[in-house]
Amino acid sequence: MSATPGTDHDTARHALLTMWTIRRFEEAVDDLFARGLMHGTMHLSIGQEASATGACLALRTDDAITSTHRGHGHCIAKGADLTRMMAELLAKETGYCRGRGGSMHIADTATGNLGANGIVAGGIPIAAGAALAFKMRAEDRVVACFFGDGAANEGAFHEAVNLAAIWKLPVVFICENNKYGMSFSTEKSFAIENISERAAAYGIPGTTVDGNDLDEVYGAVSAAVDRARAGEGPTLVENVTYRWKGHSKSDKNLYRTKEEIAEWRAKDPILRFEARVKESGLLTEEEVQLIRTQAMEDMRAAVREANAAPDADPSDLLDAVFARA
């Protein structure tokens, strides 16, 4: 856990670099895909950087996360290696999953990332189970469980939140409400105002924050992490945010207006944080420019190194199905 990003120089620098790194990584993926240099599909988190970054700032390295199909940001914010991520997306042997998983299945044991997930709500019961293990072993570790608004209507969400509540498990449920489950808006898919209201049904605290405000996200998740670490059980934190890009490559944006997208672009979480820390004098304009440059250079280096790596090797596909004793 770090000092509040909006008031501490080093934390602010780290947070801004993380957000720019996520943005540049996602833009690079978008570009590589558009140019036919990347295979498969991907789900970009441009516009949601403050949610992943603010939440992970509230965690220790030995805390765990579970992530989603839109998971690049969580992965980077928890400390993953950019080159290995990019190598995975570019179908290389040096990728996190040796080309077996791709964008939706990156995990990183070194940073406690238990994995992105291709199934909506698939990671939520897994997060509860990891938290159960931590509690049974009396370790003071916490699990942050990321999922989207769509997942809150899956049975897995309700079963897992209930289990975590009755067993007071050290888990923070972080709902990234980006307004759409693919094309279906939250106005249509929920009869409640805030998804965090669902916490009451399980007897746990729930809170809704501006997910594009890094300090707000950090504050809410920190409080929830403290509560979890103290043995007081789970919290549901809803980060209200927006994805600028489509759901995935097939998205033609038929379900929302250009005006709506423009409105949310104006609430850019990175520029908002930059303006705040410059205004308060926490970071100078020069420092901000250096951070932007470093994010771009880090991403370019990752693409370069990943491109030079050997392609994923099909020779031992069957050997990898089962783990060996």
Among 20, 25, 33, 96, binds another protein (CB under 8 A): 96
Output the CA torsion sign for 308, 98, 150, 34: positive
Q: Read off the DSSP letter of residue 313.
A: P
Give me the helix-helix angle, 49-57 and 269-279, nearest 10°: 60
Task: Choose, by CB under 8 A, the member of 54, 122, 170, 206 that binds another protein.
Answer: 122
In DSSP terms, which residues pair with 253 in a beta bridge? none
Name the catalytic one among 60, 158, 255, 272.
255
Rounded to the nearest whole angstrom, what is the least distance from the CB of residue 64 to another protein in the complex?
A: 7
247 is catalytic: yes
By CB under 8 A, is residue 300 in contact with another protein? Answer: no
Residues 134-153 that bind another protein (CB under 8 A): 134, 136, 143
* Least distance CB 114 / another protein (angstroms): 6
- Helix boundaries (H) for the chain: 9-34, 49-57, 72-77, 82-89, 123-136, 155-166, 186-189, 214-229, 258-265, 269-279, 285-308
Q: Give the residue carrying structure tokens 């509540």.
A: 165
Among positions 44, 50, 57, 128, the unique one binding another protein when judged by CB under 8 A = 128
| Distance of alpha carbon 165 from alpha carbon 308, whole angstroms | 47
Q: How far is the CB of 265 from another protein (least distance, A)?
A: 34
- 22, 32, 75, 126: which one binds another protein (CB under 8 A): 126
166 sits near another protein (criterion: CB under 8 A)? yes
Nearest distance in Å: CB 67, another protein: 12
What strands, in cross-sheet order, belong to the sheet with 64-66?
64-66, 143-148, 171-177, 235-240, 206-210
Site residues for another protein per CB under 8 A: 64, 66, 95-101, 105, 107-109, 114-115, 117-119, 122, 124-134, 136, 143, 155-156, 159-160, 162-163, 166, 320-325
